[in-house]
A = this chain, B = another copy of it.
Amino acid sequence: MTTARIAVPVAQRHFEDFVPGTTDEFGPIAVDEVEVIAFAQRYDPQPIHTDPAAAAEGPFGGLIASGWHTAGLVMRLLVENYLARDASLASPGIDELRWLWPVRPGDELHVRTTIMEARRSQSKPDRGLVRTKIEAINQDGRVVMSMVGMNLFRCRS
């Protein structure tokens, strides 16, 4: 199992650059209270995400980010640091998305990627499917979210 990072920058990255076993880690991205509340007011309006006073009385003793907000912050880091910029095709989806630990305002998240599988398409040989284990890790080293992402990338050759 290799643990070298992908050497090719995202702007030039293609399917062939995603080698199973390769790992990388990048970030941080900060979790901001104003943004936690604004995101949840639109997309996940539950008091645990939108109302600091109510959340303080709740099971987590304070405001926590919507799990979908955490996923969005992780996606931002993936776009900037991991996915191919010009050779990315649409993602078919995500497996095993897990919210493992509360994400709170003031947290700083890193993302760790591990390439699990890279398979060139039989029917469309100009592209391939990459499966990646994606973990979000907070400032204490705790994995707060994990998922398996699927991405289609164009081939260089």
Residues of A near any B CB (own CB < 8 A): 39, 42-46, 59, 66-68, 71-73, 75-76, 79-80, 88-99
Contacts and interface: CB of A to CB of B under 8 A. Distances in A.
Contacts of A98: 92-93
- In the complex, the count of this chain's copies comes to 2
Chain A interface SS verdict (over half):
mixed
A4 to B, nearest CB: 26
Nearest to A49: B79
Nearest to A35: B42
A59 B99 contact: no
A138 to B, nearest CB: 16
18 contacts: A42-B76, A43-B72, A43-B73, A43-B75, A44-B75, A44-B79, A45-B76, A46-B79, A59-B89, A68-B72, A68-B75, A72-B72, A93-B98, A93-B99, A94-B94, A94-B97, A95-B95, A95-B97
